[in-house]
Amino acid sequence: MLIHGHEIKGKGIDKETRCLHYHSEIDRIAIKFYCCDTYFPCFSCHEEVGCTHPQVWPKNQFHQKAVLCGACGYELTINEYLSCNSTCPTCKSAFNPGCNIHQHLYFEV
């Protein structure tokens, strides 16, 4: 699905990147996976329709844009995302703070 000019892959995606697995009001980011350079709403979508070799972003690449705000389309660097207090720095839309428990699935910790 094309959202804010970016292809997002996954299951049951809406216009703000919510998916079949995570679809509350504040589930509005997609994460570009390091292994396949493709945006997915969540790790489950990546497992189901992504590449077969998941890899996390290494710390030395945290300056790369890899998180998409589904509300406004702003691409955050990983550093921006990790320090944004679950709020888009551009449009101020809230992100799900619970995503923090899954950081190890996306980023080197």
Each residue of 27-68: pLDDT tens digit? 999 999 999 999 999 999 999 999 989 999 999 999 999 999
Contact status, residue 41 vs residue 19, Cβ threshold 8 Å: yes
How much of the chain exceeds pLDDT 70, in percent? 100
Categorize the per-residue pLDDT at 26 as very low, low, confident or very high, splitting at 50, 70 and 90.
very high
Averaged pLDDT for residues 77-85: 98
Instruction: Output the furthest CA–CA distance in the chain (Å, rounded).
Output: 34
Number of domains the chain is built from: 1
Question: According to the model, what pLDDT value does residue 32 have?
Answer: 98
Round to whole Å and give the CA distance between 76 and 89. 8
Contact status, residue 37 vs residue 28, Cβ threshold 8 Å: no
What is the domain range of residue 70?
A: 2-105
Average pLDDT across the chain, whole number: 97
